[in-house]
Amino acid sequence: MQIESFLDVAHNFKVIFLDSYGVVKNHRGLIPGVSKVINQLRDAGKVIRILTNDASRSPQRQSERFAEQGLTGIHADEIVTSGMMAKLFLEQKVLSGQVAYLGTEAAAQYILDAALNPIPVSELDMENLDDITAMVFLDDEGFDWNRDINKTVNLMRKKNIPAILANSDKLYPVSKNNVSIATGGIAKLVESILGRKFIHFGKPDSQMFNYAFEQINQAGKYDRSDILMVGDTLHTDILGGNKFGVRTALVLSGNTKPDNAEVKINSSGVIPDYICNSIVD
């Protein structure tokens, strides 16, 4: 397993797609040195996009959060989230009514952006669900798991409505050795109890890659061969990049650890073009 320097690899591309969690930041905050690397990429004329399976905050809020943590200059329109894909779907397919959601109030911005009326599951009146036209799983925080997951199960048993999963990740790291169940794990519990499958958004589906690709092609003219996707998770970032037809770099600063990266790559068959310790190495 050959480890390469990230900047050496990035040098060969005009466009860099970066996953957020595990690549730019982790449970402790910004990965030290990231600001400098991003500036170096910009100075070298690289186009940058953040592609994240995160539906807990709008791109605007994620941009502000980066700045608060010390990474300035990431514009909201450089951030592509799985929440945006869910928003596009709602906009196109759910035309009216109230949309129930699990997540924080910040996450509900995606529903507002689709010109729909969000209502947290906690506030649902289970005796009067007539106006509810869809259910969206946005985040694992912002609600009482016991009360509100149970309310969601009952909502879905009573109403024949679309259920949308805006982030299908099942786990995320919260410290060096501990993980937390993510939105995808909660949705899976509900799916398994109801015996049905919801509509999932996010990497590895090509949709987010395609969105970013079309966006950058409005300004200039790039080819897929100009693009490098950088991520820490094989079955989302790297598989998605591989399927979309761009080069991929796996970083070992997040979900995939140096000591089992090679075994995971071989057994999954999801093969990155490059492997780097992190984007700051």
Does residue number 218 form part of the binding site for its own copies (CB under 8 A)? no
Closer CB to its own copies, residue 35 or residue 207?
207
Q: Kindly determine how many residues on this chain lie close enough to bind its own copies according to the rule CB under 8 A.
A: 58
Write the burial class of residue 177 (CB in 10 Å: 0-12 exposed, 13-18 middle, 19+ buried): exposed
The interface with its own copies within residues 142-201 (CB under 8 A) comprises: 144-146, 149-150, 153-154, 157-158, 160-164, 170-171, 177-181, 185-186, 188-189, 192-193, 195-199, 201
Does residue number 45 form part of the binding site for its own copies (CB under 8 A)? no
Helix (H) or strand (E) holding 35: helix 34-43
Does residue number 210 form part of the binding site for its own copies (CB under 8 A)? yes
Q: What are phi and psi of 35, to 5 degrees?
A: -55, -45
Does residue number 134 form part of the binding site for its own copies (CB under 8 A)? yes
For residue 245 the two structure tokens come to 């037809």
Closer CB to its own copies, residue 205 or residue 237?
205
Does residue number 242 form part of the binding site for its own copies (CB under 8 A)? yes
DSSP string, 66-88: HHHHT-----GGGEEEHHHHHHH
Indicate which single residue of 27, 46, 61, 243 sits in contact with its own copies (rule: CB under 8 A): 243
Q: List, in order, residues 6 or more apart from 101 with CB less than 8 Å away.
A: 107, 108, 111, 118, 119, 120, 121, 135, 136, 137, 138
Start-to-end C-alpha separation, the chain: 16
From 203, 163, 172, 169, select the one nearest 80 (Cα to Cα).
203
Does residue number 207 form part of the binding site for its own copies (CB under 8 A)? yes
Does residue number 250 form part of the binding site for its own copies (CB under 8 A)? no
Closer CB to its own copies, residue 36 or residue 196?
196
Contact 76, 59 (CB under 8 A): yes
- Closest approach of Cβ 38 to its own copies, in Å? 28
Helices marked H in 127-206: 150-158, 183-194
- Positions that interact with its own copies (CB under 8 A): 85, 88-89, 92-93, 126, 134, 140, 144-146, 149-150, 153-154, 157-158, 160-164, 170-171, 177-181, 185-186, 188-189, 192-193, 195-199, 201, 205-207, 210, 235, 239, 242-245, 263, 266-271
